[in-house]
């Protein structure tokens, strides 16, 4: 557990990782708010958008966590 926290702290010291995280989560929330069906409640639209954004974070940041540097997975 301590090693995992240390890896995450080292990872988030890099400015590009923080930028990608903010970009994808913000973009996901905006997509959720404006694109998802209006019949859904606003919190559910934002949560679904955040889930989409988190998927993008995992896709882009994930390879960096295991030592890779490519964005293609």
Per-residue pLDDT reduced to its tens digit, 18-55: 777 787 888 888 888 888 888 888 888 888 888 888 88
Number of domains in the chain: 1
Q: Which domain holds residue 30?
A: 2-65
In a domain, 70, yes or no: no
In a domain, 53, yes or no: yes
In a domain, 19, yes or no: yes
The pLDDT score that the predictor gives to residue 28 is 86
- What are 67's two structure tokens? 């030592």
In a domain, 71, yes or no: no
Helices (H), the chain: 2-12, 15-34, 42-65
Q: With bands split at pLDDT 50, 70 and 90, how would you rate the model's confidence at 2?
A: low
In a domain, 73, yes or no: no
Q: Is the distance from CB of 63 to CB of 69 less than 8 angstroms?
A: yes
Output DSSP code: residue 6: H
The pLDDT score that the predictor gives to residue 37 is 85
The pLDDT score that the predictor gives to residue 9 is 67
In a domain, 72, yes or no: no
Q: With bands split at pLDDT 50, 70 and 90, how would you rate the model's confidence at 4?
A: low
């Amino acid at each position: 557990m301590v090693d995992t926290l240390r890896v995450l702290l080292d990872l988030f010291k890099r400015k590009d990782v923080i930028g990608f995280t903010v970009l994808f989560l913000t973009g996901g929330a905006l997509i959720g708010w404006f694109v998802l069906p209006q019949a859904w409640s606003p919190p559910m639209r934002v949560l679904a958008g955040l889930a989409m954004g988190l998927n993008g974070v995992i896709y882009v940041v994930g390879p960096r966590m295991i030592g890779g540097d490519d964005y293609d997975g």
